[in-house]
Amino acid sequence: MRQIVLDTETTGLETSQGHRIIEIGCVELIDRRVTDNHWHHYINPQREVDAGAFEVHGISNEFLQDKPLFEELVDDFLHYIEGAELVIHNASFDVGFLNHEINLLAEEKPAIAGLCEVLDTLVMARQKHPGQKNNLDALCKRYEIDNSHRSVHGALLDARILADVYLVMTGGQTLLGLEQVETHSDEIGDSGCTTQVARHGALPIWRGDAGSEEAHEAYLAFLREQSDAPVWQ
């Protein structure tokens, strides 16, 4: 099963006010395992970033000036997500902005719903924890996921944190000694930021020999003798 955990940053809150996407970050999960195949780009929105939005993500107008336009990235992005299930926190916001960007293109492209199923972790969290705070920071605290390196929002960083939250929230195991964590410089360049990229190794498979198989069968026979109707039968 292929899932893409996705997050965006924008110039503001409303597409109706002409706001645009400035960053897309995606983390790939294959059978609930984080892979190295992430997709991340900053985007020139061709408009100013609102002061309030800048306070949230810290991405400046000057930084975005030389970044590619959405239309230059859209084919690669849609190819990357096609057929996957998108995992998004407050999906209506991100999907709304993505569809808005697609609708602005001169060439017709499919809407997100035509390419992917979408799972909203905010809806899931509200069902599991009604009446409680369910933003990403609150979920990290509830599930004891370290987000101390998240001083400002960033699409790729938030997608990686959301991947951990989603896996724990749905019963999976993430940062519990099953992976190596590598620290590297962030793509912003001169910002001095660092991000952590978790690289999961293969799960160990322990295969028993003939002796252990015989011992297992003997133990199952013993259990059958102790019960009239073993559940596995």
Residue 22: helix, strand or coil by DSSP? strand
Q: What is the pLDDT along the chain (233 residues), one digit of tens a residue?
A: 999 999 999 999 999 999 999 999 999 999 999 999 999 999 999 999 999 999 999 999 999 999 999 999 999 999 999 999 999 999 999 999 999 999 999 999 999 999 999 999 999 999 999 999 999 999 999 999 988 776 567 899 999 999 999 999 998 554 443 444 443 334 333 333 333 334 444 444 556 677 777 777 777 776 777 666 666 55
Residue with tokens 């996705």: 6
Q: Which DSSP string do the residues of 47-82 spell out, in sequence order? A: SPPPHHHHHHH---HHHHTTSPPHHHHHHHHHHHHT
Rounded CA gap, 91 and 109, in Å?
A: 20
Cβ–Cβ under 8 Å, residues 158 and 196 = no
Q: Catalytic residue at 153? A: yes
Q: Which entry of 40, 41, 153, 184 is annotated as an active-site residue?
A: 153
> For the whole model, what pTM was predicted?
0.73
User: Angle at the Cα of 139 (from 133 to 142), degrees rounded to 5?
Assistant: 95
pLDDT of residue 147: 81
CATH architecture of the domain covering 2-203: 2-Layer Sandwich (3.30)
* Sequence spans of domains, the chain: 2-203
Cβ–Cβ under 8 Å, residues 23 and 59 = yes
Distances in Å between the alpha carbon of 36 and those of 71, 198, 210, 233? Answer: 25, 8, 38, 42
pLDDT of residue 190: 36
Distances in Å between the alpha carbon of 147 and those of 105, 137, 160, 195? Answer: 36, 8, 10, 11
pLDDT of residue 210: 72
The residue among 147, 109, 143, 115 whose CA lies nearest residue 128 is 143
